[in-house]
Chains A and B, each alone.
Chain A
Amino acid sequence: MTEHFRLAKLAVRSSELLSGGRLGAAHGWRMAYAHTYDWTTPGGVIEFIADNTWGLPNAVVGSLFATLNLWNGVKVEVSRASGSLLEAGRLGPKRGHADVARQGQSHWTCVGPSRGGRLEFRMERKGQLLAAAGTVIFFGLAPGVVAGLIRWWLTGWRITNPIPVWGPMRVLGAALTVGAAIVLISAFARFVMQASVHLHRSPRLGIW
Chain B
Amino acid sequence: MYIAVVVAIVGQALFLGQLSLLLYAAVIGVIMVAFARWFEEPTLLERFGDEYAKYRQAVPGWWPRMRIRRRK
Interface residues of A, Cβ cutoff 8 Å to B:
41-43, 46-47, 49-50, 53, 143, 146-147, 150-151, 154-155, 157-162, 166, 169-170, 172-181, 183-184, 187
| Chain B residues in the interface with A (C-beta under 8 A) | 1, 4-5, 7-21, 24, 28, 31, 34-35, 38-39, 42, 64
Pairs across A and B, CB under 8 Å, 19 listed = A46-B38, A50-B35, A50-B39, A147-B9, A151-B21, A151-B24, A154-B24, A161-B17, A162-B19, A173-B12, A173-B13, A174-B11, A174-B15, A176-B11, A177-B11, A179-B11, A180-B8, A183-B64, A187-B4
Contact yes or no, B24 A43, CB < 8 A: no
Contact A50 B31 (CB under 8 A): yes
Partner of B12, one of A47, A53, A177, A187: A177
Contact residues in B for A184 (Cβ distance below 8 Å) = 1, 4-5, 8
Q: A147 to chain B: closest CB distance in Å?
A: 4
